[in-house]
Structure 1
Amino acid sequence: ITCCISHLFPQLSSGNSIYDKYYRQVDPSGSGRVSAADAALFLKRSGLADLVLGKIWDLADSERKGCLNKQQFFIALRLVACAQNGLEVAIKNLHLAVPPPKFHDTSSPLLPGGVSIDSPWVVKMEEKLKFDAIFDSLSPVNGMLSGEKVKPVLLNSKLPVDVLGRVWELSDLDRDGMLDRDEFAVAMYLVYRALEGEPVPMSLPAPLVPPSKRKKPKDAPLFPGPKLSKYDEVFAKTDLDMDGLVSGPEVRDIFLKTGLPSATLARIWELCDIGDMGKLTREQFALALHLIHQKLTKGVDPPQNLSPEMVPPSDRLTWLGVPSVSTVIKYSCLLCWSSREKGTVEQEIKEKEERIRERTSEVQELQKEVQKESGELQRLQSQRQQVQEALEDLDQQKSALEEQLGLIRQQCSHENQLISSLQAEHTEQEQRIEEYEEQLVQAREELLRLQEETQQLEEKVQAAREQLSPLQDSVRDSFSQVSQVGPFRPTVFTSTVMGWCKILTGRKGNSVLSLK
């Protein structure tokens, strides 16, 4: 990281007068060293969240010395510029071309430079009403919510803790550790956008700064001349008796046509009726229309109290508690009211009070509905988590079964190969058996034939033996007779007879001896 920073340092500092100007503010003596405290005070003016500033410090103070040299301070400035332009706070983004960082004075620590009081607020009116209902349901104290009361609402969004920490940093505009109605609306707006997938910015964009938190130029008029002329025209048409005053019944239709809640209109009337006369002067009427216009177009709620610059010039003495001639005239006009007109006003007040009660009841019902829907949302989120876990378990089971299936398929393939081999061997053995059976049949037939032939020969031999037996007897007799006549002398005839005897008897040896 140090090598990377050293390589990028000439690009960051070369010819950059703005960076040099910022550095001279934190190191006016030119010591070449910026302490952690001085750097923190200066970087805090960037409007970035503390978490982001902490990350910037860690990256800039790469040597962990607890202070910054000029090179490292320039690195911190470039990282601030990256964060303000929606880029990731990372060393890899140092080479990107981004506008110089912006720092504002400490009197308005989180208000971006160049924000106009008249620029529209991105929080729409219907969103503001919804956020206000949630705000009221948390039981604010003196119009403020502590961190402990806001924490459960933020955690219910299931957003990461670091994201929620950044939301709190951006929303707590005055750094008092509490949120008022407008600051709470900013927090809820950021949470809802984060739930829709939008990233939480590192610094609060100008359109997100509530109009009530923006600085208003001291010399700027309450409203421009053309609008004042337009309001004067409406006043002239409304002031039918030409007494320079308009009563509640006279402006009632004009107010109700705006569509604002009765409670808001009553609050505007109370602010503009500075002398509590029950009627409005031309300037007070213009102020009332201006407050209505601000609420309709920009969602700016009527202030709790009029600021000095908002009080019409003719009423400033009265506003300060000093009676004026106009005040005396107004009170004298009250004495001229008829009892009928007073009754009308009283009836109108009763109607407004009834409407206030109705609106209060509606708000309470909405609060209950919000709590109910919040509980339902939490239940659905819990159910979604359970389903997600079940899905992950099924995915694991699926993977295990797929692995088992692959092994079984391999075994099946191996068994199929063995079966094919055995079938081939079986077929070959069957063929051999058929051949052996044929040979066996042939051998049996040959054996049977030989046995029959042997039987026939044995029968012939037996017959020959039976024929030989008398011949042997006859030959013996003949030899016996010859021996009686004289000495035995073998002749050709006797030799032949003896050979026959050998053949017939199957004996070996001397035939003569056997005959003897």
Structure 2
Amino acid sequence: MSFIPTPDELFLAERILSTQKKSDVLEPDAAVEILRDCGLSHEVLAEVWNMADEGPKGYLLARDVALALRLIGWAQAGEKITENLVGRSGPLAAIRGFSPETSKSDTYPPLSPSSREKYRIIFLSAVPQNNVLDNQKVVELWSKSGLSKELLSQIWDLVKINGQNYLDFESFCLGMYFIQGLLDKHFISLPETIPTHLSAHLRAKPAMTPLSSPISNLYLSKTSFADQTLLTLQSS
């Protein structure tokens, strides 16, 4: 595998290793403890470990940890883990307690791939014109959340770009993220600006593919605002 770690990846890897008894080795149990809150499934993290642990050795050295962080960053951005990502630098992994923006990434966790997919389907089901939704359609969708008009207005002002009266998918997705996070009490207030670990992960994703799977094929928990919105779209 052709892998050249970036300075940020190496710095983050060294920060993680500095907390270990053996400062040059990351053991599997320690990795599980550190990565458990990064927003990825055990299956994805197992893929990351297997690709980073060349040999295998049963532990990770600094370069291996940096590779694992690269793959985690891509996975947090919604990419499927493949060897093609090894040689592609991308968004820096958001690791609780270690990432450069510790306070923001702790408060505002990474956007999960499953949530992003739900927001994508909601966005496309609202029939965007020229890949954007106007403010009327956005207000119609967001008002179903039950949040106050004042709070929704704050979210709109936070995610919109250059004072425009429409949202592209990335901005809409961020708005849905903040709405759902407030409803689920993952955080209790909005940031003054979009945390870079959120915008970087979101915008690292390639252009959206057309809506191909019917909403009824998705597993919906029927508990979240996003799920309820999808169910409404399915029945309409």
Higher relative contact order (CA 8 A, sep 6+): 2
Q: TM-score, normalised by structure 2?
A: 0.43
Q: TM-score, normalised by structure 1?
A: 0.22
Report which of the two structures shows the higher radius of gyration computed on alpha carbons. Answer: 1
Greater share of residues in helix: 1
